[in-house]
Amino acid sequence: MKLSIIIALSSCLLSYSTLASDTYKADEWRTLATDKTVLLTLPHGKVVIELAPQFSPKHVEQFIKLTKSGHYDGNKFYRVIDGFVAQGGPEDGSSADKSVPILKMEGDFTTQENWHFTKIQDNDLFAEQTGFKDGFPIGHNPSEKMAWLTHCPGVIAMARGNEPDSGSSHFYIVNGQATRYLDRIMTVFGRVVYGMNNIQAITRTSVIEGDTPVDKKDYTPMLSMQMMNDVPKDQQILLQVQNTEHPTYSEMIVKRKKRENAFFYKKPPPVLDVCQTPVKTRFATITK
């Protein structure tokens, strides 16, 4: 199988982050646990989502329960806007919709003074610092001792109404520009690590003024949503992602910031964006 490099998340304007040597993890690549990854099957292909229980535990817990119960199977992506999000879930007001408990917002979380992450930038437009933790793009305000997952392309978050604590099972995946203005007021609980091209191929439900509206029957369905450890072993998609806590990742970020390649005959400012530097994905090597 060919290696698949998925730009699921990214890095920001980099002030190179130094972690204490004992905080570095041993391997350059991190193998994804099958009990924390989801396989979404669409008519045109498959998508793998890595969940983030370490940041959004209650949302992940509910999403796993709903996935295991078949809650999403057969439901559709009903709000798909080009360059924004692909949103799906049960029909509003249906018995399936009403049966799901309401969740309390998990838009950010508390950090301690010794909290470590791979820092990318100081004084981001939306945060005092940005960087990566466990492969996920984050914002961090040391002055508040608070951090959060950022709305980079490929992240999955829970939809809600006007009330902060009103999410249940409807979710969206950022399919275009980074919607960073939604940071901290929505709960991000995972990210696409494989098959982002299939997310991009979901039928748009929003059309330009004067065009023919998209019929509901043409909305893209979720054929199935499964926890990877519930998928037959011969059908599982086992993946590894770059370990953003490893020194080589920080070294890559520094080089990317400097843009020393001869292609850049005019040097851009030595900055990066948290949503424009990839965390690579590859197929895991299976040993028998």
Does 1 reside within a domain?
no
Q: Is residue 250 part of a domain?
A: yes
pLDDT of residue 286: 57
Q: Which pLDDT score, from 0 to 100, does residue 287 have? A: 53
Mean pLDDT across 18-33: 66
Question: pLDDT value at position 145?
Answer: 97
> pLDDT tier at 284 (50, 70, 90 boundaries)?
very high
The 3-state DSSP class for residue 89 equals: strand
Mean pLDDT of the chain: 90
Does residue 11 sit within a domain?
no
Average pLDDT over residues 129-139: 97
Domain range for 70 is 21-283
Is there a domain that residue 117 lies in?
Answer: yes
Q: What CATH number should be reported for the domain holding residue 143? A: 2.40.100.10
Give a yes or no: residue 87 inside a domain: yes
Mean pLDDT computed over 158-186: 97
Name which of 51, 95, 79 is nearest 226 in CA terms. 51
Is residue 220, in this structure, part of any structural domain at all? yes
Pairing of strands 155-158, 76-80: unpaired
pLDDT of 23: 44
In a domain, 239, yes or no: yes
DSSP run (H or E) holding 155: strand 155-158
Number of domains in the chain: 1
Please give the pLDDT value at position 42. Answer: 98
Mean pLDDT of 73-82: 97
Please state, for a pLDDT cut of 70, what percent of the chain lies above it.
90
Taking 3-state DSSP, the helix, strand and coil percentages for the chain, each rounded to the nearest 5, stand at 20, 25, 55
Closest CA to 40 of 2, 73, 7, 87: 73
> Is residue 7 in a domain?
no
Is the full-model pTM beyond 0.85?
yes
